[in-house]
Every structure is written in C-alpha cells, then in structure tokens.
Amino acid sequence: MKTIAFDSIVVGDALEPVVRSVTQETFWKFSAASLDYNPVHNDLEWVKTAQPFGIDQTVGHGMMTIAFMMSVVSNWAYPSMLMIRKSESKLIFPVLAGWTVTCTGIIAEKHLICPGKNFVVIDLEAKNQDGQLLGVCKAEVVFPD
C-alpha cells in the first residue's frame, strides 16, 4: 500500500491509462458478471433483425464502458485508501466486439476543504482504437484524514 498526499497532487496530472481489448466473449462474461442478459449484448442472430441501435451487431454493456473508465480511478485510489465518492458518466457510442478501448484520466480539479474532506475531481475519457470518443466521466475522490 502506498500513500498519496493531497498536497502532492497537481491539477493536470495524468493517471495510469487502462486498455481493454474486447470480444464477444467479453460481452458474454460481463452479462454473467452483471446479470444483465439483454440480447442486444449477447444474441448475434437477434440483433441482425431487431437492430435496436440501428446496427446489426451486438454492442457492449454501457456499464462495462463505465467500469473500464472507473478502473482508472480505482487503480489509483484504492491502494492509497482514497474513497471514490461520486461518478457521473455519459455514454456516447457503444463498444463493438474487436475494438480496443483506452481509458484515460486527468486530475481536473483540486478542492481544499479540511482534513478528511479534501477531494479531487478526475476527468475520464474512453476512446476506441481510432480515437473515437465512446464515453466521458467525472469522478470525485476524497482523501482521508
């Protein structure tokens, strides 16, 4: 375990990116993990005709994309006992099988309140291998006393 001092944080600092290569197996496994068995993620025949999103392919769960982005935060915060308090995400484009999703995060805001309540805001983005923006997120992380 390591310690991150609030004083050492600089606005603009980049967190370690997260890179995830996804396949149809990723969607099936996330269905089992989340218990969301919606056929739009799982059933290759159903989506060919139903096309609920205007495309004839399955798409990844929105919560999977958010989870990828939030791993950037938890990988940084958890080892230092920092508390992830809030996250607000917007999903822009669905993830398709075969894509590589790269999630990045930067310290966007630093709020000095008092010991135990100081927090930072992290801006996150998820993009595919072509640089297409898939989702954005803001996460608040509180520093302990």
Partner 1 sequence: MGKDLFSKYITTEKQKQFDTNFFKDAQSYEVWDEIDFSNIEEVDGEQTFEIKAEDVKYFAEAVMDDNPLMRDESYAKNSPYGGLVPHPVFATTIIFWCIGTKGRGNWIRTPGARNPGQYMELYENFRIGEVIHIKMKPFDRYIKIRRFLQGMHP
Q: Which residues bind partner 1 (CB under 8 A)?
A: 1, 20, 26, 28-43, 46, 50, 52-55, 59, 61-68, 70-71, 73-75, 78-79, 81, 83-94, 135
Strand partners for 69: none
Q: Alpha-carbon distance 16 to 18, whole Å?
A: 7
Residue 123 sits at φ, ψ, to 5 deg, of -95, 130
Considering the complex, what minimum distance in angstroms separates the CB of residue 41 from partner 1? 8
Q: Alpha-carbon distance 112 to 105, whole Å?
A: 20
Between 17 and 79, CB nearer to partner 1:
79
Between 11 and 29, CB nearer to partner 1:
29
Cα dihedral across residues 65, 68, 70, 73: positive or negative: negative
Considering the complex, what minimum distance in angstroms separates the CB of residue 138 from partner 1? 10
Between 26 and 118, CB nearer to partner 1:
26
In Å, how far from its chain's centre is CA 22?
A: 14
Between 82 and 107, CB nearer to partner 1:
82
Considering the complex, what minimum distance in angstroms separates the CB of residue 92 from partner 1? 6
Angle at which helix 24-34 crosses helix 62-77, to 10 degrees, equals 80
Considering the complex, what minimum distance in angstroms separates the CB of residue 119 from partner 1? 13
Q: What letter represents residue 36's amino acid?
A: D
Considering the complex, what minimum distance in angstroms separates the CB of residue 7 from partner 1? 21
Between 59 and 107, CB nearer to partner 1:
59
Taking CA 71 as the corner, what is the angle to CA 79 and CA 59, rounded to the nearest 5 degrees?
165
